[in-house]
Structures are given as structure tokens and as C-alpha cells.
Structure 1
Amino acid sequence: MLIILSGPSGVGKGTVREELFKDESLNLAYSISMTTRKPRPAEKDGIDYFFVEEDEFKKKIDEDKLLEWAQFVGNYYGTPKDYVDQLLDEGKNVVLEIEVQGALQVMKKCPYATTIFIVPPSMEELERRIRGRRTEDEEIVQQRLAKARKEIATKGEYKYVVENDDILEAKDKIAKIIREHHVDQG
């Protein structure tokens, strides 16, 4: 099963995903995205992202080797097709934790995907979370907030919308969606 977890930057996608992966009964595999962004402190290549140079990323685009890709704040992000196919072939439920632009591309190519949009309890809380990272300057923070407003407007494109007010409650709701969808699919 292909599962898309999406939502605006700062909504807590990564934290919710980490909690989901603690439940081994869900048989989840994380699809690591590729990016031209420089690693943040403590991020590791091949674990958090596949960090690549821009020319290598553009070559993947030209060769149609990405399930989806997007450019944001001067960096490219994308999902390597081969990596996802390998995980699905292994019988895993593959989680794509991706931004809205990429999620909409995957939805067109993979209409069978289980799509989940994570929303913040409020824009004020989202701004607090983004600023709390202390990893970006004011201009980037403002760009992320503007993008978040546009992305939240697309939540109707997703099969499920889950509010992340409490990490464990959000995780439980998403785990329930995965289990119900998996049963429905046989």
C-alpha cells in the first residue's frame, strides 16, 4: 500500500511519522526523499534524505526517475521511483512524507494511494512551530507561512484530513486509517 502523508512545513509530519513507525504491526517503510537542500544539524544522508547536487537531481528529472518532484525556496525535492518500487515489491506499506505539490503529482500517477493531509490546530500554532526550529531566517519563515496557507486550501484533494494538535492522537488516527484501508484493500 502506498501512503501519502502531506501538509505544510512545520505541521509535524516527521514527528507523526516517527510515532507511526513505532507500531510494527503497520508494516511501514519510509520512502526517503531526495533533495538538493543542505542537511540540517543531525540529518543524515540516506536516512533523512538522499542529499544530492542540483545537476544530479536534474538528471533524474530528465530520465523520469522521480515519482514526483518540486522546487521550493531554491531547492529541489523528489521521490526516487526505483526506491519506492523496491519497498512495495518487498510487501511494505510505503509512506511518502511529501509536500503538497509533490503529493498532487503522485495522486495523478497513483490514484490508489491512501492520501492523508495533516493540518495544524491554527496558523498561529504553525508559525510558532516553524519559528521554534530556529533553522531559517525571517524571509524563509514568511515564505513557508505563505506557502502553508495555499497548501491548506488543497486539503480537499486528500482522502483524509487529520489535525495535529497532539502527536499521539494524530498518530492513532492515522494508524486507524491505515488499518481500515488495508482491510478494505484485502
Structure 2
Amino acid sequence: MDGPDTVRDTDGFQPDSLAGPLEILSRHSGGAAPARMFVLSAPSGTGKDSVLAGLRRRNVDLHIAVACTTRQPRPNEVDGVDYHFVGREEFAEIRGSGEFLEDAVYAGHGYGTRLGPVREALSASRDVLLKIEVQGAATVRLKVPGAVLIFLAPASLDDLRERLECAAVERGVVDQADIERRLVEARRELACLPGYDYLVVNHMHRLEETVRQIEAIILSERTRIGAVPIRV
């Protein structure tokens, strides 16, 4: 008779009684623990970059993919760290050669994530996080069914308006028409919520709480049994 701790495996896998649970899972998956892919999307101004900086501060082991964009860098942005800033012609060449995992146009500018660095990280069993807009996230959902999609939302559109206005004041350029355009775009993006796996609300002045929630999602997904293998 089986004891209370007996493990039955319907596929014929017999765990070693001396192995720990993570080692058993690794053997069952054919080697190293499978890498995960995470997608983080949010309306402009919601705090994606602040959240990613928070994950880095907490030493969450992730390969954060650096996307290409045709827009001009902002004063505080570093090429190769925040984005790879490229011209429209180079962007079109990369797209035409099929080197993008996903790409989209947002606010008149091209954005795209190159396949090479993502494949390299996954082959090294490193989890990958993509910071992309909803169009790109929809593409990833189709191409990579096992990807975990996280939507970072403001507490309300009034909250988002305040964030956008504060950011504009800090930059020294308050363009009310641009703020209204971003709010319209945010409404469209919020309508895409049903296509995501997780919703995290980034309340004003509660960034660390938001970072901890996203870290908890990542840690939970890493221990999910039966997750779909990531192939790109």
C-alpha cells in the first residue's frame, strides 16, 4: 500500500527518494528548470521604468530585454540601457529581416524586441522580461503561448492624468494636447486587459508595494508545475 508521501507519475517518471522537489522537477523537464518569459505592459506614465528599477534593486534575477525604438532619447535615457535608439531605416531593415520577436507602432514611433538576446538568455535558462505595449504583447501571446502577461495599471485615469502632468512639469514642457492623447490611448490599452494573466495596480506613492507584487508573480510562476515551455 502506498504511504501518504508516495508520488505516482502517470508518464512513468520515478522520482529519486533522495532528491529534493526542485531537482525532481528539473529532471522531469529534461535538465535545467525551464526559463520563463514575462511581459510587462502599461499605459504611458504608469511607472513601468520605476518598477523595473525596483526589481533590479531587489536583485530579481531576470534578463530585461532592451527594445529598439525610432523615437529620440529623453534627457535621462541611456542608449543600450533604456532602449536601443535606431533610425527608421535601420528599424525597417531589422523588421524586414525577421529579427524582431515583436514590433509595433506607438505614438508614431516604432518599437521592437530583437530575437537574438532573448534566445540567448532563454538558452542559458534565464527568465526574460519584455517591457512592451499592448500590440506587442498580443503578438507575443500568439507566438509564445507560455509567456506570462502582466498589466500594470494606474488606480484611475485621474491618477494617470496627475502622473502625466507631473512628468511634463519635470521635463519643463507641458503639452496638454499630448496628455489628452495619452489618456485616450490609455483607455484603449485598458480595454485589452482580458488578454493578460495578471493585473497589478500601481497606486501613487506606493511603488515598493507594486514592485513586491510583481516579484511575487515572478516567483510564483517559477515554481508552477506543468508550465508551457518557452520557444522562440
Please classify the TM superposition score into its range, dividing by the shorter chain length.
Answer: over 0.9
- Asked whether the equivalents of residues 73 and 140 of structure 1 are also in contact (C-alpha less than 8 Å), the reply is no
Cα-to-partner distance string for 1:35-66 (whole Å, 9 max, x where unaligned): 00000002111011000000000111111111
- Asked whether the equivalents of residues 27 and 93 of structure 1 are also in contact (C-alpha less than 8 Å), the reply is yes
Q: Which amino acid aligns with 1:41?
A: P
- Asked whether the equivalents of residues 35 and 77 of structure 1 are also in contact (C-alpha less than 8 Å), the reply is yes
1:96-107 map, 5 Å: 96-107=130-141
| Cα separation, 1, equivalents of 2:57 and 2:119 | 23
Deviation of the 1:140 alpha carbon: 2.3
1:54-93 map, 5 Å: 54-93=88-127
Are positions 1:15 and 2:50 aligned together?
yes
SS at match of 1:96: strand
Q: Which has the larger radius of gyration?
A: 2
Cα-to-partner distance string for 1:115-165 (whole Å, 9 max, x where unaligned): 100110110111111122215633322221111001011111101101001
SS at match of 1:151: helix
| Cα separation, 2, equivalents of 1:148 and 1:90 | 36
Aligned to 2:215: 175
1:1-186 map, 5 Å: 1-24=36-59, 26-134=60-168, 135=171, 137-165=175-203, 166-185=206-225
Deviation of the 1:91 alpha carbon: 2.2
Larger relative contact order (C-alpha < 8 A, sep ≥ 6)? 1
Q: Which amino acid aligns with 2:55?
A: L
Deviation of the 1:178 alpha carbon: 0.7
Q: Which amino acid aligns with 1:14?
A: D
| Cα separation, 2, equivalents of 1:181 and 1:93 | 10
| Cα separation, 1, equivalents of 2:90 and 2:225 | 37
| Cα separation, 2, equivalents of 1:106 and 1:172 | 24
Number of aligned residues:
185
- Asked whether the equivalents of residues 118 and 162 of structure 1 are also in contact (C-alpha less than 8 Å), the reply is yes
| Cα separation, 1, equivalents of 2:154 and 2:107 | 21
Structure 1 unaligned spans of 5+: none
Q: Could you say what the CA RMSD is over the residues aligned between the two structures, in angstroms? A: 1.4
| Cα separation, 2, equivalents of 1:44 and 1:83 | 18
Higher relative strand content: 1
| Cα separation, 2, equivalents of 1:185 and 1:20 | 24
| Cα separation, 2, equivalents of 1:177 and 1:185 | 14
